[in-house]
A and B are shown apart, each in its own frame.
Chain A
Amino acid sequence: MIRVLIIDDERHAREEMEALLNETGEVEVVGSCENAFEALKAINKHRPDVVFLDIQMPMVNGFELLSMVNSEIMPHVVFVTAYDEYSLKAFEEKTLDYILKPVSIKRINKTIAKLKELLITAQPVAFEAEEIKRIPCLIGKRIKLIGLDKVEFVSAGTRGHYLVTSEDEYYTDITLKVLEERTNLIRCHKQYLVNMDFVNEIALLENGLGVITTSSGGSVPVSRMYLKKIKSMLLL
Chain B
Amino acid sequence: MDTLLFTQHNIFMLLQQMSVFLVIAYLFTKSPVFRTFNIGDLRPKQMIILYVVFSTFSIMGTYFGFPINDAIANTRAIGAVLAGIIGGPALGTAVGLTSGLHRVTLGGFTAVSCGISTTLEGLIGGLFHLYLVRTNQQSKLLSPKIAFIATFIAEIVQMFTILLTAKPYSEAVALVHIIYLPMIVANSCGSAIFVSIIRDQKSMFDKLGVIFSNKALRIADETLSILSKGFNQETADKLAKIIHQETKVGAVAITDREKVLAFHGIGSDHHKVGITLSAQPTIQAINEDRIIFIDGVRKRWKCTLSENCPLGSILSVPLRFENEVIGTINLFEPKNKLFLTMNKTLGEGITNLLSNQLLHVRYNEQKSLLVEAELKLIQAQINPHFLFNALNTIIAILRKDSDRARELLLHISNFFRTNLKRKGALATLEEEMNHVNSYLVIEKARFEDRLNLEINIDPDLLNIKIPVFTLQPLIENAIKHGISDMITPGTVKISAKRVDGMTFIAIEDNAGNCGEWDTTGLGMNIVEKRIKNLCGEQYGLEVDCVPEERTTVTVKLPERGCRSDKSTDY
Contacts and interface: CB of A to CB of B under 8 A. Distances in A.
Interface of A: 9-13, 15-16, 19, 35, 37, 56, 58-59, 82-84, 100-103, 141-143
Interface in B479-524: 484-488
23 contacts: A10-B392, A12-B392, A12-B393, A12-B396, A12-B397, A12-B446, A13-B392, A13-B393, A13-B396, A15-B399, A16-B392, A16-B396, A16-B399, A56-B484, A58-B486, A82-B388, A83-B384, A84-B385, A100-B388, A103-B392, A141-B488, A142-B487, A143-B487
A10 B446 contact: yes
Nearest to B548: A142
Contacts of A59: 485-487
Interface in B397-449: 397, 399, 445-448
A59 B488 CA distance: 11
Contacts of A10: 389, 392-393, 446-447
B392 to A, nearest CB: 4
Interface in B444-481: 445-448, 450
B1 to A, nearest CB: 121
B294 interface: no
A220 to B, nearest CB: 30
Interface string B527-565: 000000000000000000000100000000000000000
Nearest to A11: B448
Contacts of B448: 11-12
A143 to B, nearest CB: 6
Contacts of B548: 142
A88 to B, nearest CB: 13
Nearest to B511: A58
B441 to A, nearest CB: 14
Question: For the complex, would chain B's binding face be called helix, strand, loop or mixed by DSSP majority?
Answer: helix
Nearest to A144: B548
A10 B486 CA distance: 12
Nearest to A38: B487
Given A11-B448, A101-B389, A16 B484 contact: no
Contacts of B389: 10, 82-83, 101
Contacts of B450: 9
B226 interface: no
Contacts, number: 60
B303 interface: no
Interface residues of B, number: 22
A38 B530 CA distance: 43
B532 to A, nearest CB: 31
B391 interface: yes
A142 B548 CA distance: 10
A15 B446 CA distance: 12
Given A10-B393, A11-B448, A101 B388 contact: yes
B111 to A, nearest CB: 108
Nearest to A81: B388
B378 interface: no
B446 A35 contact: no
Contacts of B385: 82-84
Nearest to B398: A16
B395 interface: yes
Contacts of A9: 450, 484
Given A10-B447, A82-B385, A58 B485 contact: yes
A101 B488 contact: no
Contacts of A19: 396, 399
Of A58, A83, A142, most buried by chain B (CB within 10 Å of CB) is A58
The 4 A-B pairs with the shortest beta carbon distances in the complex, nearest first, are A12-B396, A16-B396, A82-B388, A101-B392
A84 B388 CA distance: 11
A161 B136 CA distance: 91
A13 B93 CA distance: 105
A58 B484 contact: yes
B392 A82 contact: yes
Contacts of B397: 12
Contacts of B399: 15-16, 19
Contacts of B484: 9, 56, 58
Contacts of A84: 385
B487 A102 contact: no
Contacts of A35: 487
Contacts of A102: 388, 391-392, 395
Given A19-B396, A83-B388, A142-B488, 12 more contacts: A9-B450, A10-B392, A12-B397, A16-B392, A16-B395, A56-B484, A58-B486, A59-B486, A82-B389, A101-B389, A102-B388, A141-B488
A13 to B, nearest CB: 6
A37 B486 CA distance: 12
Nearest to A19: B399
A143 B486 CA distance: 9
B445 A12 contact: yes
A15 B396 contact: yes
Contact of B487 (A37, A83, A103): A37
B386 to A, nearest CB: 9
A229 B391 CA distance: 56
Contacts of B393: 10, 12-13
Contacts of B446: 10, 12
A37 B485 CA distance: 13
Contacts of B388: 82-83, 100-102
B403 to A, nearest CB: 15
A13 B395 CA distance: 9
A83 B391 CA distance: 12
A11 B399 CA distance: 13
Nearest to B480: A56
A101 B395 CA distance: 10
A58 B450 CA distance: 11
A56 B446 CA distance: 13
Contacts of A83: 384-385, 388-389
Of A11, A12, A16, most buried by chain B (CB within 10 Å of CB) is A12
Nearest to B383: A83
A53 to B, nearest CB: 15
Interface in B139-172: none
Contacts of A15: 396, 399
A190 to B, nearest CB: 32
